Amino acid sequence: MQKIVILDYGMGNLHSVASALQKVAPGDEVVLATTPEQAEGADRLIVPGVGAIRDCMEGFIRPGFVPLLNRCIETGMPVLGICVGMQIMMGRSEENNGVDCLDIFPQPVKFFGTDLKENGERLKVPHMGWNQVQQKIDHPMWRDIENGSRFYFVHSYYVPAENNGALAGEAEYGVRIAAAVARENIFATQFHPEKSADAGLQLLKNFVGWNGQY
């Protein structure tokens, strides 16, 4: 039995993630950890996140989750970031007049803007709903997921796909956005796999079985 830890720092859609994991991995232990001590003995780690990134960063730093995440990355433990849980791993966000993030991936987080258009039509911000994701690398996390599958997004800020050396999946919403990024034992998604029906459940199932390498 594996111990799958979801970091609870007050800013994540935790119970939906936990419920989806219990569905794809009924024999494993799913733990919502509010302290690093509760994450002891973890086999894999999930960093969720919704809401304002400044609050997310403060909530993540306060209980001591930064050293925990760094240790997990250094030891090769599989790590999954979801939505703002992906964004806090970037270099700096434009939100709230600029917020420094964890800089695990040296990429910016940008605002979609108030005049976002596609084919001359104004697009709503936040980007909310289903969007196709094009897989950009051959990765174990994409196993048994058809290229171009649709996933569920809710966000006003995005990580650009252009000049992104960690790009694992791409979507378009007025601009090219990084739908997923990957590096060594880290895989992070802008979309919500726990809300993305069969494709999202398959991605979570892949995470449960992933050895952290590709």
Main-chain phi, psi angles of 113, to 5 degrees:
95, 170
Active site residues: 83, 192, 194
Give the integer Cα–Cα distance in Å for 19 and 92. 31
Single-letter amino acid code for the residue at 181: V
| HEC secondary structure over 27-86 | CCEEEEECCHHHHCCCCEEEECCCCCHHHHHHHHHCCCHHHHHHHHHHHCCCEEEECHHH
